Structures are given as C-alpha cells and as structure tokens.
C-alpha cells in the first residue's frame, strides 16, 4: 500500500507537549504535516504553566527535519481556543486537522469532590475541545475539508471509581465527536473518537506494570489514520492500546415493545429488556428512533 502522508496538511494538537500528543505530533510531522504543538505546560492537575513542553517538542520535530510551531494558549478559555486556530492560520495559512488531546486529572470520590475540581476537569477536556474545534470547524467548512479527532477513555465509556469529573468530560467528548460527524458530512469534515491506553505522565500512577508497556507510539498510527484524507469512517469510536485496535459502539437491545407499558411490565420483563441477543447499533438519533 502507498504510504499515507500528510504533505501540505496542517494539524493542531492540544496537549502535545508529552505523552500521547507528543507521539501524534512526531508521527504526523514525520509524514509531512505542519504541526501546531499546543501545550500550556502545567502540572497533571492543571496548575502552573510555562509552555516549555511545547517548545521542546517543536525543537525535536525541527531537528528531525519536520515543521512545527509551539503554542502555549490556554484552551480552557474561548480566547485560548481561538488563538490555537489562529496560530495555525498565521504560520501555515490553513488548518486541516484538529486532535483534541489535552487534559488534566483531579481525581476524587463523588461525595468529596469539590465543584472547582469538577469544573476544572470539564473545562480542559470538554469545553477546551469545543473552544478549539468550533473556530476550526468554521475554517474547515469554508475550505471544504477537515479531520477532527476527540479523545475519550475507558473511564468515560465505562465509568471508573474516583473519576466522576473525568468520566463525565470524556463521555461528553463522544457525543461531541458524533454530532460533529453529522454536521460535517456535507463539507468533507470527518470526526472520530479515540479511546487510548498508554503510559504517560498523567496515567503512569494508575497503571499496572504490564500496562506500562503500552506506549503512546502504539496508539499514534490509529490517530494518524483518523486524521488522514483517506480515512473511510466518521462518527466512530476506536480503542487503541499496545498494538490493538478495536471499535467501540453504542448498542441497543431489541427489548420490550408494548404501547400500554406499565411499571409492572418493566419489572416483569427485565430479562427480555436486557437480553443482548440480536442487539442493534444505530448510528444516528433518527436511526435509534426508527427501531
């Protein structure tokens, strides 16, 4: 197969100063893309900043013969999100790819979680993705092309103890990605969601020794495919870890159909309602309503 390259394409990658984002930036740059390396340079919990991480990754890319520019804007603000897009336009004249990867952790059980810790995590992961993607989408509509990749996680898809804020934000990114896919279809804008597992500064303390063998470089090819013009899918969720790639989907059982449904009907037919035999996988809201 012909090598999938990104010559002439411009990608903005948030949280690209380390871990997964850094791996994405290096791979796309090695295949010809111009990269906006966005990273606030803060701690895992989002405190402090500096931008040095982004500068370091840019230096690595340039030293390898690639093209990149550093961006330290705070995507948790409307102005910061717009500025990331403007950085791409100012330096490279266009923007083709947005990879929403930035995030922070402020774990805690529900009954102990402060509103600030909930809001701060949602602000970076979910609102930050919106603040970057909205102006990028406007530009992509005008040029008739775009690729957007949102980042979810197993915690978002399945829930996790002590991560109600993180899980909420990550599942929100699934809904956002699927909606963007629907809105972007007629403009040749494809949006998908990646559910990665890899050792990084943010995840190292949560992983077993076996899981720490899963590297960001093993996830990067999946994200690169979703970012490429030849990507054949939109509105999908792909899991990626340790060289594995799989599809994650929302399914619905055939369930119980009874127009005069009562509370007792639900209680008496729970096994049928939950039975996964012959489950369905609607791709849109309208498809779900037609079941």
Say how many CA atoms lie within 13 Å of 85 toward its Cβ: 22
CB contact at 8 A, 21 and 14: yes
Give the whole-angstrom CA distance, residue 196 versus residue 21.
11
Q: Which of 73, 76, 82 is nearest to 106 (CA)?
A: 76
Q: Is the dihedral of CA 225, 228, 233, 236 positive or negative?
A: positive
Burial of 93 (0-12, 13-18, 19+ CB in 10 A): exposed
Buried b (16+ CB within 10 A) or exposed e, 243-258: eeeeebeeeeeeeeee
Q: Is-contact 148 100, C-beta < 8 A?
A: yes
Give residues with Cβ within 8 angstroms of 231, minimum separation 6: 147, 190, 192, 225
Question: Helix, strand, or coil here: 230?
Answer: coil
Q: Tell me if residue 54 falls in helix, strand or coil.
A: helix
Is 166 tagged catalytic? yes
Beta bridge partners, 68, equal 35
Q: Which residue among the candidates 24, 131, 145, 166 is catalytic per the annotation?
A: 166
> Which positions are catalytic?
166
């Amino acid at each position: 197969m012909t090598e999938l390259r990104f010559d002439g394409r411009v990608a903005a990658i948030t949280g690209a100063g380390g871990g997964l984002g850094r791996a994405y930036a290096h791979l796309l740059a090695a295949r010809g893309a111009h990269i906006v390396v966005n990273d606030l340079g803060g701690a895992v919990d989002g405190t402090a900043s500096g931008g040095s991480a982004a500068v370091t990754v840019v230096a690595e890319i340039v030293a390898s013969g690639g093209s990149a520019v550093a961006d330290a804007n705070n995507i948790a603000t409307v102005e910061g999100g717009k500025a990331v897009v403007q950085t791409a336009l100012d330096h490279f004249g266009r923007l083709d790819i947005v990879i929403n990867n930035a995030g922070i952790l402020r774990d805690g059980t529900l009954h102990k979680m402060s509103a600030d810790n909930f809001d701060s995590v949602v602000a970076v992961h979910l609102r930050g993705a919106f603040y970057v993607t909205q102006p990028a989408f406007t530009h992509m509509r005008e040029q008739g092309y775009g690729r957007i990749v949102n980042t979810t996680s197993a915690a978002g898809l399945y829930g996790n103890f002590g991560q109600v804020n993180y899980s909420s934000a990550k599942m929100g990114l699934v809904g956002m990605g699927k909606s963007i896919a629907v809105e972007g279809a007629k403009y040749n804008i494809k949006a998908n969601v990646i559910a990665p597992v890899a050792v990084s500064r943010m995840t190292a303390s949560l992983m077993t020794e076996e899981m720490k063998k899963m590297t960001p470089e093993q996830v990067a090819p999946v994200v690169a495919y979703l970012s490429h013009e030849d990507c054949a899918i939109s509105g999908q969720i792909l899991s990626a870890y340790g060289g594995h790639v799989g599809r994650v989907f929302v399914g619905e059982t055939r369930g119980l159909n009874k127009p005069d449904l009562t509370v007792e009907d639900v209680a008496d037919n729970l096994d049928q309602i939950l039975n996964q035999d012959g489950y369905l996988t609607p791709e849109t809201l309208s498809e779900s309503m037609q079941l």
